[in-house]
Structure 1
Amino acid sequence: MKWTISNQLTTGRVVIIPVFLLVFYLPGTTGYWLSAILFTFAAITDWLDGYLARSRGEVTPFGRFLDPVADKLLVATALVLLASSGQAPAVLAVIIIGREIAIGALREWLAQRSTVVHVSQIAKWKTAIQMIAIVALLLHIRIAGISMHEVGLILLWIAAALTLWSGYEYMRDAWPELIQSE
């Protein structure tokens, strides 16, 4: 395995998850702020590791494997924590996590068949809105008179709708391969 900066950032996202979990349970606004800061840092490294890997020509098999896993683990952890604490509807967590599992499995199956399904623009928007929603829900306070909780809920509903839409797009694009006889 080539230990690139991108791979280090991706691995760091996995390592930060237990710290994020502990910080989430700190009492009051300390926990809100620290968990939001950690999640924001991790979300930025998600973008940064991909950018660095592509721009420096350092895309590796390890990075291609671990990057989506790290992203899903981080988002799933945040959504489960938010739903279990009553800060987010469990149905939204189920929609988002369920789609990630299903599309991850679909992409893996397609990769074994040497078929690539590229990330759609809707999926990129979904990810961005989802990350912002999670940060706002983690903050769970008012900033400049605006409830971050309410902003986060609205954005999470939008992210869930985009999650379903992008999931449909993946299935539609993969359908010919799925129904093709072996």
Structure 2
Amino acid sequence: MEKREVKPFIDIDVKDTIYKLSFVTGYSVKSICEDLCNQSFRCGLGRELSPYFKRGIQIDGAVFQGNKKAEKFESSSQNIERISMKVNGKLYDYAYHLSFAMESSVAKVVAYGVEKSMKDYAFLDRYIKQFLSKKIDKERKDMILKIVRTINKDYTVDEEYGIVSLLLYIADEYKRLDEGVDGVLQDVVPVVK
């Protein structure tokens, strides 16, 4: 199915994090954004956005009644920037139907979907683990997991850190983009023999 270009405005911090994820994983920004959007749509975004429906719609196996007096759907952030991405036809159609029901734009729906998935830390952790399985050997992957467990166990922290936090920290500290993630991981995580 042909991909459609969408240029949503997203929170600047979210955009920055997506670019860091792109650096760390080696995946393109467009692929990451599409994966994030796909994740939020799979998790029933329609039901969550239903209070904004001004028109009736059948989506996610449910029928929703529109309400002409429904609240206008607005971005939660005032600090936004455009990002360019492509989504497959199925995702675009889903976003289009939601935008029609909300009398909003497809880009606003896609932006909300991307930002929603960026707040789903369990999903991001699985996403990064999937990357690690493909990119680095088992010994280094186990070492990264051990570092995360040690930080969470041995240090007093307000929140539990995951693989995403560690890899984003690495991306912040090692700005050697020309070496790529493999070079950085070789320096940061020694090969266990």
Q: Give the shorter-chain TM-score range.
A: under 0.3
More helix by share: 1
Report the TM-score, using the length of structure 1 for normalisation: 0.28
Report the TM-score, using the length of structure 2 for normalisation: 0.27
Higher gyration radius (CA): 2
More strand by share: 2
